[in-house]
Structure 1
Amino acid sequence: MSQFNQGAQPQNRVPQSIGFLLLDNFTLISLASAVEPLRMANHLSGRELYRWHTLSQEGRPVSASDGLQITPDSALDNSPALDAVIVCGGVDIQHSVTREHVQWLQQQARHGRQLGAVCTGSWALAKAGLLDGFECSVHWECLAAMQEAFPRAGISTRLFSIDRNRYTSSGGTAPMDMVLHLIAREHGRELAAAISEMFIYERIRNEQDHQRVPLKHMLGTNQPKLQEIVALMEANLEEPIDLDELACYVDVSRRQLERLFQKYLHCSPSRYYLKLRLIRARQLLKQTAMSIIEVASVCGFVSTPHFSKCYREYFGIPPRDERAGQNANVVALMPVPDELVRNAPSTAGVALSRAQGESTFASVRVV
């Protein structure tokens, strides 16, 4: 049985074997974002924690969406023993998933494999019926199509979702966040933090971080006035514009404005505006050293108590606790203390210190 989601393992554990199923037009950055943390985990730990293999339906080269070709390690019918399978999707996913893919994935599920996906690869798992009753993530471009095609899957806008033995992420660098969380669960936060530092990855995002889905993707081109209003809101977070003024700017009545938001965004304009300001505040709390008073001010709140009240009601946690939690993450990303290195010379801290002395240290990065 796979150890992908279990706690720290003994030194003599067998390396986990992960298969990356490459679909036509997969996105190369998503594949690299998932594989590179595994490579660095082996390097920094000084032992082979993970093995990975690339797979294609018949073992033939697969073209990524940027035109580069990857020659896989094996075909599906002669793949090595695997603990987990991660589907790598990309452009035109609906036409990249074949019946053979579906049957093979269903077979892997019957054999108890852990199953995952990056970018649009969740479509393949959903088509195989393997995401029914599971929360999952997918690149925002595929979000609406998946919600329509697979109503039994819990499609989320989260950057990544870890639900029992299903691990799914959106595209770009989001797979790195997901894999770093899995490494942290299995081998400790210290190792995950060291990997993050090696890739100059300043913050490991968590399951509460969501994709920013472009409004035009949600609405199409039929609501230009609503898109214009939201753009005005986003550009004026520090000094919010009165709703009557917003309506005047786009030549609609206040009542029409209210109706547009209720019909297409399922909330009032004031509520939507507040949400934009609070999301911006959360980003500032997590990513900057600005004080809570400063964050409240630049996000358009007249007082810190009012900001704290709104923040707690929306996110379920006060800003002070959000900042405290973020500080804990920052500590995890700092270099390992000298005394830890002295007392445990085989830890990731020693490997990181050794790697930092190598000439290639600054060149190790995912693009």
Structure 2
Amino acid sequence: MAFFDNLRATAMPSDTDPATPVPVRLEIFVQSRFSQLELSSVTAALEIANDVQPRFRFEWSFVSDTPGLISNRNILVRAEPAIDGELLKDCLIVLGGAGCVAEGWMRRVRAMQIQSRPVVLFSDAATEYAKQKKTGFYPATTHWRDIPILNEIGDFADMSTQLGEYTTGILTCAGRGFAIEAAFNLVAECLNPQERAEMASLLMLDRVRGFDREQPIHQEQGNTFLEGPLQKALQLMEETIEAPLQISELTQQIGVSPRQLERLFKIQLNSSPAKTYKMLRLKRARSLILETRMSLLDIAIACGFSGTSSMSKAFRQSFGVSPNQLRK
């Protein structure tokens, strides 16, 4: 992949002393409520990459548009200030998270592009980048759960559902649970096969998916924990959030009786089909409330509610707050 050319050129010493490790400097951009999973995945992969070979060292630092101690409510990270266009490193990694805001790092992304230095955008950062660019940035991807939200606020029909996509110096990535494999893929390009195998073993990875693999979309796809009819039911529920089906219609399309489906949901999920369906719609509504400026009425309709009052009632019952309180 062309994305790795600069990293490989930096990491593979040519006229330097082979006994002296060549530094590869990475900048990890964090904002409030950053993804702890993505941060730990990236740093763990870099640490182990340093352990399995002596030729170069990955060095990383944390930066932010709000420097100092950055919290995700569980851990703190001390970040240096990100100065526009200055002190650029060999690679920029922007972590996702609930507080990810593109205005804080877009100028730095552009500066990296001008100097042909690679950029990695994980999950929410990839979503925020898509919102900013709107057109002309494909192919691009993000975590599959954000794609329906993007399509509610604009035309993002060309967003990919692959685990990663590369264009114009930027790698957009699904992130989250894929973060450790993504980080492995980033540094493994600079390692030989034996070192890759050792690194995978130390990370307890028996296989590593490439960026060109499709995401396991929805709860039902690629999930060996759920039985077949349950997978199909969840898929139909995800696909019909805007116009919910009756449970009788659902069972008819799946090919099981209502009683069988109730039993499966009770055994596997300790819930009922109706409650699960409703919760999927509420979670979609909550995402739209937090991540878009759509009106509450439009959100209610997009999530299969008859109006704002029915959505508000369901919200209070499930989350203990109203949609208006959540948006404040």
Query: Shorter-chain TM-score: what band?
Result: 0.5 to 0.7
Contact in 1 for aligned 2:35/2:97 (Cα 8 Å): yes
Q: Per-residue deviation at 1:56?
A: 0.7
Partner of 1:52: 60
- Is 1:198 paired with 2:198? no
- TM-score, normalization by structure 2: 0.59
Tell me the number of residue pairs that the alignment of Structure 1 and Structure 2 aligns.
Answer: 234
How far apart are the structure 1 equivalents of 2:203 and 2:24? 22
- Is 1:133 paired with 2:137? yes
Contact in 2 for aligned 1:89/1:120 (Cα 8 Å): yes
Q: Per-residue deviation at 1:45?
A: 0.5
Among residues 148, 155, 158, which one is paired with 2:159 in the alignment?
155
How far apart are the structure 1 equivalents of 2:49 and 2:134? 29
Contact in 1 for aligned 2:52/2:199 (Cα 8 Å): yes
Shifted more, 54-63 versus 125-134: the winner is 125-134
How far apart are the structure 2 equivalents of 1:226 and 1:158? 32
How far apart are the structure 2 equivalents of 1:202 and 1:82? 32
- Is 1:24 paired with 2:32? yes
User: What CA deviation, in whole Å up to 9, does each residue of 1:272-309 have, x standing for no partner?
Assistant: xxxxxxxxxxxxxxxxxxxxxxxxxxxxxxxxxxxxxx
How far apart are the structure 2 equivalents of 1:191 and 1:24? 35
Q: Per-residue deviation at 1:42?
A: 1.0
- Is 1:220 paired with 2:241? yes
Partner of 2:7: 4
Q: Per-residue deviation at 1:228?
A: 8.1
- Is 1:176 paired with 2:180? yes
How far apart are the structure 2 equivalents of 1:114 and 1:78? 14
How far apart are the structure 2 equivalents of 1:160 and 1:25? 23
How far apart are the structure 2 equivalents of 1:218 and 1:28? 30
Contact in 1 for aligned 2:141/2:172 (Cα 8 Å): yes
Alpha carbons of 1:7 and 1:46: their partners in 2 closer, same or farther (altered >3 Å)? Answer: closer
Root-mean-square deviation (Å):
3.5
Larger RCO (CA under 8 A, 6+ residues apart): 1
Among residues 188, 194, 218, which one is paired with 2:192 in the alignment?
188
Q: How does 1:284-363 map to 2 (within 5 A)?
A: none
How far apart are the structure 2 equivalents of 1:177 and 1:63? 25
Alpha carbons of 1:227 and 1:185: their partners in 2 closer, same or farther (altered >3 Å)? Answer: farther
Contact in 1 for aligned 2:11/2:22 (Cα 8 Å): no
Contact in 1 for aligned 2:68/2:80 (Cα 8 Å): no
Alpha carbons of 1:71 and 1:45: their partners in 2 closer, same or farther (altered >3 Å)? Answer: same
Among residues 39, 47, 50, which one is paired with 1:42 in the alignment?
50
Q: Secondary structure in 2 aligned to 1:49? A: strand
Shifted more, 132-141 versus 34-43: the winner is 132-141
Among residues 76, 79, 90, which one is paired with 1:83 in the alignment?
90
Q: Per-residue deviation at 1:54?
A: 0.8
- TM-score, normalization by structure 1: 0.54
